[in-house]
Amino acid sequence: MTEVVERFLRAAGRFELDSLPPLFAPAANIGANAQRDGVWTTSTMSFDEWLESLRARANPRPYTEPVSEYTVHVDSGQLAFVRADATLIRDGQAQSHNIDYFTLVRHDGVWKILSGSYTSVPIGPR
């Protein structure tokens, strides 16, 4: 399961958008709570809406999101819950501390992301 999450994080950070759809189950969704200037904002959208929002970016800036720790729970070999404690790094600088949560399901025998959600808290002064 963590391999799917790693592939997702790597592809998303490099904006390798065509490699993302095979990682997701039908009707998957993305949700986020991000803190900016001390205010929390919430967003939710389908995977397809999220992917289109990435495609619409004029000048996407690559990033990495190395995971320092995973917590994985698996039920009946069919459903998994993965928590990834990560730092988002852009232009060599730590930007935010992210806690990513993924629900994965076995779809046709392959682990797929059903839901991805995260919190993002800036690191350092802004």
Q: Over 90: is that where the pLDDT of 30 sits?
A: yes
Domain range for residue 73? 2-122
pLDDT band at residue 125 under the 50/70/90 scheme: low
Segment 22-26 mean pLDDT? 96
Cα gap 38→45, rounded to integer Å:
23
Segment 11-18 mean pLDDT? 96
Residue 53: how many other CB atoms lie within 10 Å: 12
Domain count within the chain: 1
The predicted pLDDT at position 124 comes to 75
Query: What would the pLDDT profile of 82-124 be if each residue is shown by its tens digit?
Result: 999 999 999 999 999 999 999 999 999 999 999 999 999 999 7
* Contacts with 80 (C-beta within 8 Å, 6 or more apart), sequence order: 1, 72, 73, 74, 102, 103, 104, 105, 111
Cα gap 118→41, rounded to integer Å:
12
Query: What would the pLDDT profile of 45-77 be if each residue is shown by its tens digit?
Result: 999 999 999 999 999 999 999 999 999 999 999
**DSSP code string of 44-89:** EEEHHHHHHHHHT-SS----B--EEEEEEEEETTTEEEEEEEEEEE
Segment 14-38 mean pLDDT? 94
Sheet containing strand 39-46, edge to edge, reads: 39-46, 24-36, 110-122, 93-107, 79-90, 67-75
Domain at 98, CATH number: 3.10.450.50
Least confident span in 8-17, 31-40, 83-92, 94-103: 31-40
